[in-house]
Structures are given as structure tokens and as C-alpha cells.
Structure 1
Amino acid sequence: MGIPAAFRWLSSKYPKIISPVIEERPITMDDGTTIPVDASKRNPNGEEFDNLYLDMNGIVHPCSHPEDRPAPKDEEEMMLEVFKYTDRVVNMVRPRKLLMIAVDGVAPRAKMNQQRSRRFRSAQEAKEKELDKQELLKLVKQQNGGILPPEHAGVVSKKAFDTNSITPGTPFMDILASSLRYWCQYKLNTDPAWGKLKVIISDATVPGEGEHKIMSYIRSQRASTEHDPNTSHVIYGLDADLIMLGLATHEPFFRVLREDVFFQDSKARTCRLCGQKGHEARNCRGEAKEKTGEFDEKETDSSPLKPFIWLHVSVLREYLAAELAVPGLPFRFDLERAIDDWVFMCCFVGNDFLPHLPALEIREHGIETLMTIWRDNLPSMGGYVTKDGHINWNRAQCILDGLGKKEDAIFKRRKEQEDRREANAKRRKLQAGGGNDRARHAESGAAPRKDGHHNPAHGLHLHPIAQFPKETPSAITYEMVVNRGGIQDTNIANKSAASVLKDKLRGGTSATEAEGSDTVSSQSPPLKRKASDLEDAARASGVASTTASHAATTAEGPVDTVRLWEDGYADRYYQQKFHADPSDTGFRRNVARAYAEGLAWVLMYYFQGCPSWDWYYPYHYAPFAADFQDLATMDVTFSKGYVSKPFEQLMSVLPAASRHALPDVFHDLMTNEDSTIIDFYPEEFEIDLNGKKMAWQGVALLPFIDMPRLLAAVQQKYPLLSPEDAARNGVGRDVLIFSDNHEGLYDEILTKFYSKRQGASRFKLDPKISDGLSGKVEKLSEYVPHGTLHYPLDSHAMPDLDYDRSVSLVGQVGVMAGLASIIHIGAGIQPTISVAQVALGGAVYLPEQAIFTWGCHLQLHDSLIGVTSSSSIWEHYSHAWASGYSE
């Protein structure tokens, strides 16, 4: 997930980092035949790319539960959707050297806490959704005289795919791995655009998050003496931290590819209950799908494809070069070190491993606040806060001290802004005429309603007449079920609702409604809310309704009892959030030190790889900036620790409701009251809104896993596993696949591993023969040269190939190595990354001795940041470079 709202903030603050992807589409002829995209031709975006990396979970999730069309009916259809989506991405980018497909494997313990929270929430939402479906089914049955046609029951009661299955160790991930291997081999055999590609598949059996496995590969290739510093990289994924990781590589030619998540589809979204188009979930009646054509042909997907966008990391580097420049430095300005510090500061506003500091919200210019403190203190600090992923704690203390001085003002300003927004919202509501129902009904004593209707059915939500489905007057919709509110007696409520609906369809008002209000008209305008807002609200209410909020609530919303804008907030915060004695300053210091350890862990994870697999932050909340003291005395070290096995991670992150994804031998550990770890799987848990408005923004107060206790319980079950299950619990390795179009490499591999002259079991790749790829590979036991390629799934939706022209290997591609914060350069030249690169479609290189020609490139900054003259920026740069270098 990365940093919340980071992409929106970056694209708004630095708009030129974003550009649309030019995409060729298949052409459908008049006779119905389709001409596919020929990706072997030049890229229509005007630039050729070497390497494409796919953070595969960002593809699997939208393919398994799409928002704009019915979900695939089974896992085999999901695989076909994954193939289709991946093919589209590859055709967009058209990599010429390498394609790496990385699926999330077992994550570090620090990440498991977030995964646990998301999966428990997901299970609660699924439970609420299923209850609502069953209630709708019951009401539809009632209105049909107790008879429910089978097709109705099939539509409404169909069990949805459990997205928690997209976790390492599940049968679904096994299917995904074998399907991806088949598909890549098939494309290497059949698609000319893939002919010279080398494909690396790192599936869920290989430990590590997908994006970090990709970064590990890039770092390892940079460590090779044969690495080409002009290599162009494109990484696909939806996580905002891909941007930070791209900066952390210090590769000059790096782009992030992603869907344009702000693109608004003009067509209605698919109903998330029955999977049909044409109505929203709130109006779902659970009806069977109407036939399409005489023989119920498969519906054509006419919804437009969501467009993609580039995020140019090189252009972001230019923006940061201008923003981070500090005049009058007593040492040499080093852009790479400054960017590293910027990435470090972004860690404070939120990431997947630590809660954000209370004073910092990215939407409230939290990063700008830290940048200002950094620029003000950089000259006196004598150097940069970070180096190659390590923190200088003396300098970090300066940044946190600066933030601590601003905290009180930040909290008060936040409260003032919230009060102003609420007042403006109420004023706009009144001006729109939909407003203060309490005032409009004060005289009658009627309960206020959001849509202007008095509700006689004990809280049953009623739509304005313009929104009501006219074609079936007796229809009972989903929203009637989920908004049933305070119904005390179902029969009375149904009677009352029927009366209201009957009168509405006649154009009048019910007797009850007429008694309750003299202002309601049948011509009231419909509520104006987007379908996405309704869906999101339904999801949010689903979570909120199954959990107890940590804070008191009123009709206006949750009450913030910490009151950060009032004196004494720190005592209240630690007392309510940590259940600590307000006078216990030692506890506050321990929390701050644990958080500081977390910052060190996150930074090393971004720049060097995982420093410890079992470290985690042991609190749900962050400390205040003012609580960080004496950081210079800290000695932060990490040990690699224990890498969990897939079933151990599943037992750590899955709720009992998702136990079907685990072998049966583990189920009693999650459900039996006598289980030694039953406390890890609560069915109900609190969500502390923590000053937020929506449940999804709150903090899920789940118990932390006691790993030694969990391992003891889980490992006792290992002897009971079947051979198939035990295999899923193993650790895998990356697979390298390429075709015989790589003649030199292909022949060398077959000679080394499969001829009479075969040598050692491990073979070191020669980058000169492998087109720049370095590393060591071994034989894949199940691979047979020139054998048959079989489609691994039962449906046979894809063909078998009698003669497989690809070769598959396993091994470590590249050498694990640390990453220095430098750009790799050729002899005697320094690469200058500029917006000109985007405009001209190539790199702009300047000799190091021609530094004074930077002025012409700095003028390009003018169009980015609105500077009228480049002279001031040039003075900053020339002074920085002339001032020498500092550690």
C-alpha cells in the first residue's frame, strides 16, 4: 500500500511527472476478426524500454474482483483475466531485454501486522455483505409468496471469492504460479515480441514482497561490473512506495506505470451483489440475469478500458533538485544524498510498517513541513541525515526537534481547518435546499432524514420517487435491507414500508408520512451521490457495524476524546491509546525509541533489502515528535532473524473465517476454545477512528502475534500434513525462462546442463552472452528440453504445445549487494537528467567539466516550478558544487 495519498499529492504538487501512456489497441474488422497488437514494432510512446517489472499482486487483485464488470466465476477464469491484463501491460511497455514477474511471498514480520489488519477487516466486510445478501434473499422470497425461483437464489446467495486467498501458501497461489510459468513459456514460443526477452518469475514461494524482490534484482545488477548505466526501467504497480523505491535505486532512467485511478468511467459500475450492470447495489433486487440474445450469448464487455499513465521518476528528480537546493551550504550539495533524505522524511507520514506521526498528514502538507525544517537545519547539521540507507541520529534529532516545536500549532490549525470545513459543508447543504432536516421537522417532532423524508418504518430508508425503480412496484431493494436501522418489528416495518411505497408509486404520500410532515413532496430531487461513494460508504458502514468504536459517538459523528488541540493532549493520548500512566515519561521514551528503530528498519529495507525478518513495531500508535530524545545515544542493529514459512504467515495474518485457505489440520487452532492460540483470532475487534471520520481510516486494535507461541502450536501440526500440503509450505526459488532466439545463451545452457559434456550443477552467466544479465543458475528438475508444454488447468482454455522452444532454470539472478547513493556513470561523463529527456525521447549527457552549461537545463526547471529566472537556482547549484563535499 505504501504511503497513503502519496500519488495524489505528488501528481498535484509536481504535475509534469505524469503523462498519459499511448496505447495501441487490437483492431476488430467488419467480419469480426481481430488483428492483435504487434508489440515487436517501435513503441508508440517514442521511447524503447529495456526492462519491465510487474508487481503482480497489483494485477491479480483487480482481475479476481474487478469493479467495472462481473467477477470471474472461478479461479481458471481469473487466470485468463490475469493473462489478458498482463499481455496488455507488456504490449504497452514493449520491453526488449527483461520481464520480471514478482508475486508477494512471505513478508517480514513488520509487514505482517498490516496484512493481519487488512485481512481481518476484509473478512468482517465479507461477513456483513453475506448477511445483507441473505436478508435481501429472505425479503424477496416474502414478496413472492414464499416461493423463490432457483435462479434468484443462485444470483443473490452466490459466495464471493475470498480475496484473503491471495496470500502465500494458499492453493490459489499454487495455481497462479503454475499458470504464470505456462503463460510465459507459451508467449516465448508464439509471440515475436517476446523472442529476445528473458523472463524471471519470482512466485509466492520465494520470500519477500513483490516490489522489494524487484528492487533486490535491480541492486544486484547494479553491483555487476558489466551493468549498463543507461538501462531503462519500467515498474508496474499500484503501491505509492514504488515511487520512493524508484528514487532509492538512483537509476537515471526509471518510470512507474499504473492505471489512471482518477479516470471516471462514464458507465455505471457493476452491482457488487449480483454482478450485473444497470443498477447500483442499493437498488439490487436479486433478480436473475436477463438473457442476452436468443441463446444467452456471453455479454460483450463494452466498458472502456481504464487508461494508463507514466510517472517519470527522472522528472521528479528534477523537481526535487530545485526544491531541495539550499544556498550558502558550507559543503558540496549532493543531489543523490538530498533525495535519500527526502525519501527518509516521507517515511514519517506513513508506510506499511509504521503508523504516521500524529502531527504529520500528507494532505496537510506534512512532507513540506519536514522539507522546510530540513532546509533550515542543513547548513548547521554539517551534512545529510542519511547515507546509503543508514541514519545519522544526531542530524535526525535536529529534524525531530524542529517538528516537535511545531506540533502544538499544527494540532490547533488542524482543528480550525476541520471546524471551517464542517461549517462550510453545512452552509452548502442549506444553500442546496437539502439541508437541516432537524430544523424543518422541529415543529412536528419528526426524526430528521438525510433525503428529506420522514421514515415511518422505524428507520427503513426510503428513496425519493425519482430514484425508485418503476418497472417493479413490489421490488424490495438491497438498500432497504442495509439501512433498516432501528426496525424493532419486521412485520410492522414491512407493512409500513409497503404502504409508503404503494403511495409513492401513486404519486402521493402515505397516511403516516402525511401525519408526520407537511413539507414532503413526491417531487423531491434524488440524492446526488456517485455510485463509488455509495459503494465505499456501504463498505465503511460494514466495518463500523461489526466493531465497537474506541471513541464515543454522537449524531454528528465520533467524539475525539484526546483533543489534540487542547492543552494536556499528550497525557490524554498516552493514557487512552497506550493505557499508560501519564506521568510515565520512561514509557514515552521507549515508544519513541521503538519508532526510531522502525525508521532505521524501513530506510534499510528501501535501500539495502530486509535488515531483519522478525523485527516489528509493537504498538498501534506513533509517539509525538517531542518524545524523541537522545537519539544520538542509540545503537540500532538488526539480525536477519527467522523467515516464516508460508503456513506460519497464513496463521499469523488470516482470520478464522478464511481458514479454508489453510490445510484442515490447522483449523482447530483457530476455532477450538481450548487452542493455545485462540486469542489470536477474535471474531469481534475494536476499530479506533483515532480522529478520523471513516472506519477504513481507523486503527484495527487486533492483538499482536506472539510468534514463539504460534510457531510452537503450528509446528506440532506439520507431521499431519499431506505431501501436497507440505510442498506448499516450502521455500521456492526464482525461475529464469528464455527461448532459443537467444542462440548463444540457449546453446550454452543446453551444453552445460543437458549434453554429454555437461559440467557442474551451477553455471555462472556471462553478461556478454546473456545480454547484460548476471547471476548463477541451476537446472530445473522438472524441465525437459524440447518437451511438450501442457496447460496446467483442467479447462484447457489455452493450447498445449508439442515442441517447447524455451528453457527454464532456477537460481540467484545477480549477487546480493548494498547500494551506494550514486548514479553509475561512464568514463569522464556525468548524466544530467532533464525534462528534455522526456521531450526528446533520449538521455541528455553533459561532460563533467561542462558544468556551467547546466544553466540551459535549469531553465527547464522554470516551467516546472514557476521561477521567472534560472539565475537564482543556478547560483545555488554553482555555489554548492564549488563548496566541496561533506559526509
Structure 2
Amino acid sequence: MGIPSYYRFLIEKHSSLLKKQYESKGKKILCYDLNCIIYNCLGKAKYDGTNLEEYERIIIEETCKYIEFIWKNSGHCEEVFLAVDGVVPMAKMKQQRLRRFKSIVLAQYEVQQQVRAVDEVRWDSNAITPGTVFMKKLHAALEHLCKSHNGWSLSGFDEPGEGEHKIMSYIRNLKINGNTILVYGLDADLILLSMLHSEDNTLYLMREEMEVNKLNTTFLFFDINGFKNIIIPEYNKQKLLNYIMMMSFLGNDFLPHSISFTIKDAGHTFLYDILKKYNKNLVDSKNKVIWKNVSEFLKLCCGKEESGIEEFCKKKNQIKFYRVHKDRSTEYDMKMAPIQVTPCQWFVEKEIFDMKTDSLKKGWKETYYNKFLINEKEKIIQEFCKGLQWIIDYYVGKPIEYDWYYPWLNVPLWSDISKYLETNTVNIQYDIQKSLEPEQQLAIVLPPESYHLITNPKYKNFPTLYPHYYPIKFGFHSLGKKWFYECESEIPIFSSAVLRSLL
């Protein structure tokens, strides 16, 4: 569950938590959220369209080398756990589908901006998805790597679950506590997950030090226990779950963020200040959301919701170009800058914002729901609330509804959620299903251009049989987004429930 800007925000605010060395006590354990390593190794070989086997062999070899390089820089931890993404919940598949379809259009923009040659052939990075031939070859190499080291183990693509959640399950199942655990990974949600699992162990997030023009790779360690002590000085689990609930209102992989506040726009500071003053739990001791208290909390927050939306619209309307810093930007960043600013040129917020008066239009709330959500307000709020409980359950390792996802790209207004919860009961039921098979996930998340990666004939013809789910042309959702990299594909969601009904 990625949380945009969160890691950068934290290290700027709490730089002392980032250490060049970590303090070790007990057994040293290193856990890898592995998928980011694979992507980082793609540039280690040259692909020309004819050397597929050789290219993939080198990528797999480089991935294994870098795993060992990280291990050596961790201080040769005695125990190592490699976690590769398996089949993920539908809520995550939705995000993967939107991102993979967007990559096709981005490639066209890259040609337009002369970042990519018209006839340039590139390896399809969508192969880094459970169930492909490439992932099966990588799995075999990782198994061999683990067998060559004592104390190393692997959870591969053939086991369901996101890498970071596999790591948390691994930590929960440790027989002996009091360990020092390093978690290598780039997803910001690892910070929240690690805090939840740091009561009995000392945890650090391990990452490369990002310095421009630095020749040698060095690593930094983000002190999770230290951060937890800052965020929740008088720690108890309920207070941490309150914080996680608060973070859900700023957006993640499963629920979109409000257009009033994001982390970049001081949303974290605003909500956190209110949370510290609000002296009630949002989640009870059985990990159930206390909806009455959520209503009260949002009532305190929504006083600035309208002015926050208006301020965002003002700022976005004034943006004319995407600023790149020559000293820390690549040639790619500079050439693609005109594309990044397109959401400001589209300015879909004009539906609710009067550009002449620099203020929200009369009746903007009704327009927001009718134009951008197009459904019954109550239904949207109910589904959003289900998402809040689903996230808590997912974080603490409870059973979840694998088929659930939030079907819209916008969220209800905080003021409306608060009002709804004052007079309505939230009754959440889960329809527990087994996770899909890897090739079924491929059928859901891959665009037609990547269907060559599917080998199972049962799914090979899906784009032809169900063209509605595989549009060639589509737009982008840009409400509340300043830059193109933030925008999401506006395409039908091919859900796991629909796929089950077709089989």
C-alpha cells in the first residue's frame, strides 16, 4: 500500500531517524520486499528484441547479486527472508491494472517527446507479475540462492500476498522475539506496517542513500522504533491504529486521497494535530472501527475541507509548467516536463471552481458527486467505510475479502461521511473467497499489448472475447492531481468477481 511522499516527508521532518549504522541486539534478521530490486536491475543489460533469453538471464543474475550485496551491507544477518509478490487482493489488482494500462500511453508520450525512438524495442517489464515465464525462471534462481545459504528462506510468486505483508506475517510467526530486524524495501507503507510489528523486536527500514553523482552505493537505516516513539510518545496499539486510520484519509493503494488535503499539501500535519487533541480511539481493542468516533474526528477535520479544496484549485490553476531541477533531474525528466503539466492544462476542477472569482462555485458539492462519482452518495460512503475497516484488518493480519475493492477514483467529502455516520449504522460483511491463481491475475492486470506474457490458452483470447475491459483509447483521472505521474487510467475495472463469473 504505497503512500505518496510519506517517506520523503518523514526524513525531512525527522532526519535524526535516518542512520548510517544500526544498533544490533539479539538475532539479526534481514527481510526483502523483493520486487523493487528486480525493477532496479533492468538497466544492467541491453535488450534489442532478439536476445530475450540472454537478457532475462542477466537480469536474474544481477538480481541475485544485488540481494547478496545488500546482505553483506546489512552485516551478514544470520537469518534472511525473501518475499516476492504473489497474487494480491483485488484492491491492489485495481491499482496494478490502472498503472499497467497507463504505461502503454506513457510509451507513446515518450516517443512524442523524443525520449524513446519510434522503432525502439524494450523488454516488457509487465513480465514482473506473478505467473509469467520470467517470474518462474526467477523463482528457480531464488530457490537456488536460498539453498546456498544457511538460514535463508523464500516466499515466491506462487504464494498469495504482497511482499510487505508476507514479511509482516513472517515477523508475527517468529518463535523468539528480541531480534533486530532489517526490512529492505521502497514502499512507504512499510513504515506503518513495521510500526505495528515492532513491539517485540527492533526494526529498521534499509534503503540506498540517494545522492546525486555518487559512485558507490551506501545504505541508510530508518529507525522504526524511534519514529513510533515520536508519533505515539505514550504507546499503545490502539493509538497506533488511530494513526493508521488517519493516514487512510490521505490516500493509499486501496482508497484515493481527498482533494482537500494530501501529505504534500500539509495534510499530515493538519490531521495529526487534530488526532493528538482528539482523545478517543478510532479503533477498538478487537480492531473494529468505532464509527461514532470516526464521525466526531472527521467533524473536527471538515471545518477546513472546503477551504482546502478551494486553495488546491487556486494553486493548480496558477501552474503553467513542471519545474525540474537541473542539478538533480535526468534528461528524461526534462524532456517529459511538458507531459507532467497536462493535468493543470486540462483543469477538470473548472466544473466546481470559478476561475474568474477564484472560488468554489455555488452548488459545487452536488456537481462533485454528479460529475465525478456518478452514484448514490450513501452507497459511496458505505463502500468507503468498508475500505477503512478492510485496511485495518489487512494491516493486522486478519482475514480479508480478497475480492473487495473501492470502485471509484474519488472519495466522499469528509463532511458527508461525518453526517452519514451520525445517523447510520455501518454493517460490514466479508464474502471470503480464495485468492485467484497467478495467471488469472495476469488476465486482470495486463493490457492487451502485454498479453503475449500469458501462456494459458484459457485466458489468451480475453481481449477479443471481452473488449469492453480492454479499451485501446482512454482518458486519465486528474481531479485533485497536479502532475501526470499522479493521474490514473480511466478504464473499466475487470474485477476478480467478474473473472470468477466468466470461468
TM-score normalised to the size of structure 1? 0.51
2:110/2:116 contact within 8 Å kept: no
**Matched residues in 1 for 2:117 and 2:71: separation?**
43
- 1:509 alignment partner in structure 2: none
Q: Which amino acid aligns with 2:28?
A: D
- 1:213 matches 2:158: no
1:54/1:236 contact within 8 Å kept: yes
**Matched residues in 1 for 2:455 and 2:111: separation?**
24
C-alpha spacing 1:706/1:207, structure 2 compared with 1 (3 Å): closer
**Matched residues in 1 for 2:269 and 2:114: separation?**
46
Q: Which amino acid aligns with 1:179?
A: A
- 1:558 alignment partner in structure 2: 347
List per-residue Cα deviations over 1:214-250 (Å, max 9, x = no partner).
Answer: 11121223xxxxx433111111000000000001113
1:124/1:543 contact within 8 Å kept: no
**Matched residues in 2 for 1:679 and 1:539: separation?**
30
Q: CA deviation at 1:356?
A: 1.0
- 1:705 alignment partner in structure 2: 494
Within a 5 Å distance, the mapping from 1:611-630 to structure 2 comes to 611-628=400-417, 629-630=419-420
Which of 336, 350, 369 aligns to 2:237? It is: 336
Q: CA deviation at 1:349?
A: 0.7
- 2:356 alignment partner in structure 1: none
- 1:532 matches 2:329: yes
Q: Which amino acid aligns with 1:622?
A: V
Q: Which amino acid aligns with 2:173?
A: S
Within a 5 Å distance, the mapping from 1:856-875 to structure 2 comes to none
- 1:414 matches 2:312: yes
Q: CA deviation at 1:665?
A: 2.1
Q: Which amino acid aligns with 2:171?
A: I
**Matched residues in 2 for 1:17 and 1:259: separation?**
15
C-alpha spacing 1:351/1:74, structure 2 compared with 1 (3 Å): same
Within a 5 Å distance, the mapping from 1:252-271 to structure 2 comes to 252-261=201-210, 263-265=211-213
Q: CA deviation at 1:406?
A: 2.0
C-alpha spacing 1:127/1:173, structure 2 compared with 1 (3 Å): farther
Within a 5 Å distance, the mapping from 1:630-779 to structure 2 comes to 630-631=420-421, 633-663=425-455, 665=457, 669-672=461-464, 675=465, 677-713=466-502, 715=503
2:212/2:328 contact within 8 Å kept: no
- 1:374 matches 2:374: no
Q: CA deviation at 1:76?
A: 0.4
Q: CA deviation at 1:305?
A: 3.2
C-alpha spacing 1:610/1:9, structure 2 compared with 1 (3 Å): farther
- 2:122 alignment partner in structure 1: 160
Q: CA deviation at 1:370?
A: 1.7
- 1:507 alignment partner in structure 2: none
1:14/1:319 contact within 8 Å kept: no
C-alpha spacing 1:609/1:258, structure 2 compared with 1 (3 Å): farther
Which of 167, 182, 202 aligns to 1:234? It is: 182
Between the two proteins, the alignment pairs up a number of residues equal to 487
- 1:247 alignment partner in structure 2: 195
Q: CA deviation at 1:47?
A: 3.0
**Matched residues in 2 for 1:404 and 1:256: separation?**
34
SS of alignment partner, residue 633 of structure 1: coil
List per-residue Cα deviations over 1:829-867 (Å, max 9, x = no partner).
Answer: xxxxxxxxxxxxxxxxxxxxxxxxxxxxxxxxxxxxxxx
Which of 386, 400, 407 aligns to 2:298? It is: 400
Q: CA deviation at 1:647?
A: 1.2
- 2:259 alignment partner in structure 1: 358
- Measured on the aligned residues, the alpha-carbon RMSD in Å equals 3.0
- 1:198 alignment partner in structure 2: 151
Which of 19, 29, 52 aligns to 2:30? It is: 52
SS of alignment partner, residue 232 of structure 2: helix
2:19/2:221 contact within 8 Å kept: yes
- 1:24 alignment partner in structure 2: none
Within a 5 Å distance, the mapping from 1:482-631 to structure 2 comes to 529=326, 532=329, 534-536=331-333, 538=335, 558=347, 560-563=349-352, 565-566=359-360, 567-580=362-375, 587-628=376-417, 629-631=419-421
- 1:12 alignment partner in structure 2: 12
Q: Which amino acid aligns with 2:368?
A: Y
C-alpha spacing 1:417/1:119, structure 2 compared with 1 (3 Å): closer
- 1:115 alignment partner in structure 2: 96
1:659/1:667 contact within 8 Å kept: no
C-alpha spacing 1:406/1:215, structure 2 compared with 1 (3 Å): same
Which of 200, 214, 219 aligns to 1:308? It is: 219
C-alpha spacing 1:95/1:307, structure 2 compared with 1 (3 Å): closer
Q: CA deviation at 1:213?
A: 0.9
List per-residue Cα deviations over 1:108-159 (Å, max 9, x = no partner).
Answer: 011110000111112333355468879957xxxxxxxxxxxxxxxxxxx452
1:248/1:607 contact within 8 Å kept: yes
Q: Which amino acid aligns with 1:312?
A: D
2:302/2:414 contact within 8 Å kept: yes
1:79/1:179 contact within 8 Å kept: yes
**Matched residues in 1 for 2:168 and 2:404: separation?**
20
**Matched residues in 1 for 2:273 and 2:267: separation?**
10
C-alpha spacing 1:57/1:609, structure 2 compared with 1 (3 Å): farther
- Residue segments in structure 2 that go unaligned for 5+ positions in a row: 354-358
**Matched residues in 2 for 1:668 and 1:317: separation?**
48
Q: Which is greater in Rg? A: 1
1:258/1:310 contact within 8 Å kept: yes
Q: Which moved more, 1:662-671 or 1:1-10?
A: 662-671
C-alpha spacing 1:533/1:132, structure 2 compared with 1 (3 Å): closer
- Residue segments in structure 1 that go unaligned for 5+ positions in a row: 22-44, 138-156, 189-196, 222-226, 267-303, 323-332, 430-526, 581-586, 716-887
- 1:184 matches 2:146: yes
**Matched residues in 1 for 2:489 and 2:305: separation?**
25
Q: Which amino acid aligns with 2:158?
A: T
SS of alignment partner, residue 579 of structure 1: coil
SS of alignment partner, residue 222 of structure 2: strand
- 1:320 alignment partner in structure 2: 231
- 2:85 alignment partner in structure 1: 104
2:282/2:289 contact within 8 Å kept: no
Within a 5 Å distance, the mapping from 1:722-871 to structure 2 comes to none
1:246/1:313 contact within 8 Å kept: yes
Q: Which amino acid aligns with 1:535?
A: Y
**As a proportion of its length, which structure holds more helix?**
2
Q: CA deviation at 1:102?
A: 0.6
* Percentage of matched positions with identical amino acids: 26
C-alpha spacing 1:310/1:559, structure 2 compared with 1 (3 Å): same
1:256/1:313 contact within 8 Å kept: yes
**Matched residues in 2 for 1:410 and 1:126: separation?**
34
Q: CA deviation at 1:160?
A: 1.1
Q: CA deviation at 1:415?
A: 4.5
C-alpha spacing 1:337/1:132, structure 2 compared with 1 (3 Å): closer
Q: Which amino acid aligns with 2:156?
A: D
- 1:63 matches 2:41: yes
1:19/1:310 contact within 8 Å kept: yes
Q: CA deviation at 1:558?
A: 3.4
C-alpha spacing 1:596/1:65, structure 2 compared with 1 (3 Å): farther
TM-score normalised to the size of structure 2? 0.88
C-alpha spacing 1:129/1:55, structure 2 compared with 1 (3 Å): same
Q: Which moved more, 1:2-11 or 1:633-642?
A: 633-642
